[in-house]
Chain A
Amino acid sequence: MKRKLVVIGAGMASGRMLEQLFDANPDAYDVTLFNGEPRGNYNRLMLSPVLSGEKTYDDIVTHDEDWYVAHGVDCRFGQPVVRIDRKNRVVHSNHSSAEYDALVIATGSAPFIIPVAGKELPGVVTYRDLEDTNAMIEAGMAGKDAVVIGGGLLGLEAAAGMASRGAKVTVIHLMDHLMERQLDPAAGYLLQKDLEKRGITVHCKGATKAIMGNGRAEAVLLEDGTVYPADLVCMAVGIRPETRIAVDAHLEVERGIAVDDALRTSDPHIFALGECVEHRQQLFGLVAPLYDQAKVLAKTLLGEEAAFQPVQTATKLKVTGCDLFSAGDFAEGEGREDIVFRDPGRGIYKRLVLQDNRIIGVVMYGDTVDGNWFYGLMKEGTDIGEMRDTLIFGPAYQGGAAPDPMAAVAALPPEAEICGCNGICKGTIVEAVQNGATTLDAVRATTKASGSCGTCTGLVQQVMAFTLGGDVAEAPEGMCKCTDHTHEDVRRLIKSMGLKSIPAVMQELGWKSVGGCHSCRPALNFYLLAEWPLEYRDDRQSRFVNERNHANIQKDGTYSVVPRMWGGVTTPDELRAIADAADKYNVPMVKVTGGQRIDLLGVKKEDLPHMWADLNQAGLVSGHAYSKGLRTVKTCVGSEFCRFGTQDSTGLGIRLEKLLWGSWTPHKVKLGVSGCPRNCAEATCKDVGVICVDSGFKISVAGAAGMEVKETEHLADAATEDETVEIITAFVQLYREHAQYLHRPWKWVAKVGLDWVKEQVVDDLDNRRDLVARFEISQSVYRKDPWAEHSTTLETPKWAPLADFTLEAAE
């Protein structure tokens, strides 16, 4: 007699399981199939082509009515099961019931709905089944605004599908980059770029606060205040196993329905598979392991021994034109090494993670044809030691002797393109070299080869070496071990290529490390904020400790606190507030600095925000006595009190400091303003010094009084205070735009020449005003006290230890 099998859920996992079961033994079971959706099994992975219009529902049906009839399946579609009666082995829907000898739960997963206001408004949909897909299609998308919440696999497929039907789509993603579970930041950046190219707006680090609308969805509001209009909101933030029926039946349920290796639940007559199960603390969302489960469960049901063993799976995104591949573990770690290949010109990124000469992770973007080959090597644990040098180039390059780069270059025909950015071929470079361009700079100057993105620099040098018959002068030294590009190149390329984030720079300029180092990250952060003051958001974690904590770290790990005193002038009230703070926080030393400020030394990190809250209260702001930025403007008392003073040097100093404070510069900047040539403010050894004379103001720059001691050089004479301020502002902005990070003005001026600086800020009036205007734009963001945001009640706890076990031990 046939036994009775009841299956709850007609999805891809249970569909495959039934196929396997009928193939092995068509007469073992009478099958009853319940499904909440009013239809049988279709290929859920193909919903995105349906959404985009590339396919129809009929194209993606996997089991049609004929199939169910042919196998004698009693189909109860559109009937969700509401109760399992384990004692009598019967399941009930609202319309019918069925007895079972064996029961399979395959309820899949349910979309996760984030609990924000407006989530129940009409126009808010999820993206899980054909109903959702049809709802989106029927809403009519052409010309409408759509917002997708969630930049994972599902969300991006929904976004691409809606965009191809003509919607204006915005993707809001909580994390730093798209698909963070499958991609590293570099690949995430390329993906974002590709999506933006097809008109999709991507907003990362965006937390949804509410969905707004009167009667139906109209807009999405983010925590940061951004509002995106939205006729349609698609929530695709994730899925959770659908376990309600199992919970009600008191089966063992963790995050999913707990199953053993044979896919049996805590009830020996009940089995489960698919996205609703949890096997050894693991959940499953991709199709490959679900098909493995189907195979195992079919055997189990037929009384054969079988055990499910999850294997690593690979991910691909089904968005036409976005080629990505991700498999395995790509976190960095001890003993792990990376092989990274980047081709910025074509938007290609490949990264292999190796451990003990074996591939353990693969991330690829742009060119994924070798993905499955790498994946195969990874699954089989193949030792790649022998082919390591050429591994990243894929299977086509394996075997044979190691290639000789010179021979390869020699073999290239003259018309072979070497520099893709500028379209320069080998013949042009050879000709330039033969005409006397024997250094890389000279070749760049005459042909433009390797002058744009610079990735072909090595190849250009090889062509030069081949032409000259020997080694060429080395390219200038790179920024750090992460890149061969010089600081100048990086700055120029950030501007010309419109790079606006650290991952963007690292990808487009072919960084050799994954996340940079302590040397390049602060430099990149500065270059980006100097170039894109309004768009780039300062990356605090790429800042050196002093600029991250807005205080100067001391040898014992305490900090110094220096309130700003404009032009070195203070008041009794300010002094009282400083004295009170010193008392309250047990400051071990109070000292006057060389820049006319008061330094409170020996402050504990956790006291910093509290102390600054007190000082802010008294009207004092950060003195930035720690920054690569404007430090102090030192002044003398000038004409107001001094019998020799010719101009109001104190007033000019205060004016300059109020204008320049808060600005970030390549290195620190100190000013001095003296009221007469006696120079009591020691202005002639500062980065910028002003000496007041009867006829006006003598401006000089590029002094030094550190490891180097150097007198300033005369930049300009100005008749009025306004002109003085304008020239100095322009000079500071020119320095911000051109100097290498960690070069003081004297070093930079020596490099570019004082004459060039004069041309830019003194002679060319239009240029001077443009520089001042750009400085003002930047200052609209940065002219502010950092402590205003760090000493709030929300931020203050972040400065204290995460946990304190010394207290607990004492209890």
Chain B
Amino acid sequence: MTHFVDIGALDDVPKQGARVVKTAQGCIAVFRTADDQVFALDDRCPHKGGPLSEGIVHGSSVTCPLHNWVFEMNSGEAQGADEGHVRTYPIRVEHGRILISAGLMARRVA
């Protein structure tokens, strides 16, 4: 069972925007959609390493700011003609707080 830790208020992340969580394994991008869904993905495009957290969020997708690769945030899969996958992490919202998988606090991935 996944354990969750509180990383902040939902309102700390702008609608159709993202914030970053730094972990020992690299940065995680925490996204919030127009309808208040949240997603956690590696903040690194598999193409050229672009910071996905700075991409334009539309629907439940995000467009990488460097070369416009589009990823579906539920699955982390690249859309359209591009092929690639971004790792996703368990995340949820409870009482207006964002909770993320506690596993990300570890020094190394087990």
Interface positions of B from 35 to 66, Cβ below 8 Å from A = 35, 37, 48-51, 54-60, 63, 65-66
Contact A331 B27 (CB under 8 A): no
Range of interface residues on chain A? 35 or more
Contacts of B37 in A (CB 8 A): 331-333
Known contacts: A522-B56, A541-B57. The answer to whether A331 contacts B23 by CB under 8 A is no
Contact B21 A518 (CB under 8 A): no
Contact A802 B30 (CB under 8 A): yes
Please report the C-alpha to C-alpha distance between residue A542 and residue B15 in the assembled complex, in whole angstroms.
Answer: 11
Residues 17-56 of chain A, each 1 if its beta carbon lies under 8 Å from chain B, else 0: 0000000000000000000000000000000000000000
Contact A518 B7 (CB under 8 A): no
Contact B20 A514 (CB under 8 A): no
Q: Which of A119-127, A549-557, A753-761 sits within the interface?
A: A549-557
Residues 285-311 of chain A, each 1 if its beta carbon lies under 8 Å from chain B, else 0: 000000000000000000000000000
Contact B34 A553 (CB under 8 A): no
Q: Which of A221-229, A607-615, A698-706, A803-811 sits within the interface?
A: A803-811
Please report the C-alpha to C-alpha distance between residue A515 and residue B63 in the assembled complex, in whole angstroms.
Answer: 13
Please report the C-alpha to C-alpha distance between residue A514 and residue B60 in the assembled complex, in whole angstroms.
Answer: 10
Question: In this complex, what residue of B is CB-closest to A522?
Answer: B56
Question: In this complex, what residue of A is CB-closest to B102?
Answer: A805
Contact A541 B51 (CB under 8 A): no
Contact B57 A333 (CB under 8 A): no
Contact B20 A801 (CB under 8 A): yes
Contact B24 A515 (CB under 8 A): no
Contacts of B33 in A (CB 8 A): 331-332
The answer, among B17, B34, B72, for a CB contact under 8 Å with A185, is B34
Contacts of B56 in A (CB 8 A): 517-518, 521-522, 541-544
Q: Does A540 contact B (CB under 8 A)?
A: yes
The answer, among A334, A514, A518, A555, for a CB contact under 8 Å with B55, is A518
Known contacts: A518-B58, A540-B14, A555-B48. The answer to whether A804 contacts B21 by CB under 8 A is yes
Interface positions of B from 81 to 100, Cβ below 8 Å from A = 98, 100
Contact A515 B21 (CB under 8 A): no
Question: In this complex, what residue of A is CB-closest to B6?
Answer: A803
Please report the C-alpha to C-alpha distance between residue A318 and residue B50 in the assembled complex, in whole angstroms.
Answer: 49
Please report the C-alpha to C-alpha distance between residue A557 and residue B43 in the assembled complex, in whole angstroms.
Answer: 10
The answer, among B16, B22, B106, for a CB contact under 8 Å with A804, is B22
Contact B58 A545 (CB under 8 A): no
Please report the C-alpha to C-alpha distance between residue A105 and residue B100 in the assembled complex, in whole angstroms.
Answer: 38
Contact B54 A553 (CB under 8 A): yes
Q: Does B104 contact A (CB under 8 A)?
A: yes
Contact A808 B105 (CB under 8 A): yes
Interface positions of A from 85 to 126, Cβ below 8 Å from B = none
Contact A515 B59 (CB under 8 A): yes
Q: Does A513 contact B (CB under 8 A)?
A: yes
Question: In this complex, what residue of A is CB-closest to B32?
Answer: A541
Interface positions of A from 486 to 543, Cβ below 8 Å from B = 513-518, 521-522, 540-543
Q: Smallest Cβ distance from A501 to chain B, in angstroms? A: 13
Counting chain A CB atoms within 10 Å of each CB, the highest count among B14, B54, B72 belongs to B54
Contacts of B75 in A (CB 8 A): 334
Contacts of A543 in B (CB 8 A): 56
Please report the C-alpha to C-alpha distance between residue A516 and residue B66 in the assembled complex, in whole angstroms.
Answer: 19
Contact A332 B21 (CB under 8 A): no
Contact B57 A801 (CB under 8 A): no
Contacts of A805 in B (CB 8 A): 21-24, 104-105
Q: Smallest Cβ distance from A339 to chain B, in angstroms? A: 15
Contacts of A808 in B (CB 8 A): 105
Q: Does B3 contact A (CB under 8 A)?
A: no
Q: Does B78 contact A (CB under 8 A)?
A: no
Question: In this complex, what residue of A is CB-closest to B68?
Answer: A518
Known contacts: A331-B37, A333-B37. The answer to whether A803 contacts B58 by CB under 8 A is no
Q: Smallest Cβ distance from B33 to chain A, in angstroms? A: 7
Please report the C-alpha to C-alpha distance between residue A557 and residue B15 in the assembled complex, in whole angstroms.
Answer: 22
Contact B23 A806 (CB under 8 A): yes
Contacts of A331 in B (CB 8 A): 33, 35, 37, 60
Please report the C-alpha to C-alpha distance between residue A330 and residue B22 in the assembled complex, in whole angstroms.
Answer: 32
Q: Does A176 contact B (CB under 8 A)?
A: yes
Contact B7 A803 (CB under 8 A): yes
Contact A801 B14 (CB under 8 A): no
Please report the C-alpha to C-alpha distance between residue A198 and residue B23 in the assembled complex, in whole angstroms.
Answer: 53
Q: Smallest Cβ distance from A487 to chain B, in angstroms? A: 18
Please report the C-alpha to C-alpha distance between residue A176 and residue B15 in the assembled complex, in whole angstroms.
Answer: 10
Known contacts: A516-B58, A545-B54, A555-B48. The answer to whether A801 contacts B21 by CB under 8 A is yes
Q: Smallest Cβ distance from A516 to chain B, in angstroms? A: 6
Contact B34 A515 (CB under 8 A): yes
Q: Does A548 contact B (CB under 8 A)?
A: yes
Q: Does A184 contact B (CB under 8 A)?
A: yes
Contacts of B98 in A (CB 8 A): 802
Query: Could you jot down 23 A-B contacts, CB within 8 Å?
Result: A331-B60, A332-B37, A333-B37, A334-B72, A515-B16, A515-B58, A517-B56, A521-B56, A540-B17, A543-B56, A553-B65, A555-B66, A557-B49, A798-B12, A801-B20, A802-B12, A802-B13, A802-B19, A805-B23, A805-B24, A809-B23, A809-B105, A809-B106
CB-based closest 10 A-B pairs = A334-B74, A518-B63, A802-B19, A541-B16, A545-B65, A518-B56, A545-B54, A803-B7, A332-B60, A804-B22
B-side residues, CB < 8 A to A, are: 7-8, 12-17, 19-24, 27, 30, 33-35, 37, 48-51, 54-60, 63, 65-66, 68, 70, 72, 74-75, 98, 100, 104-107
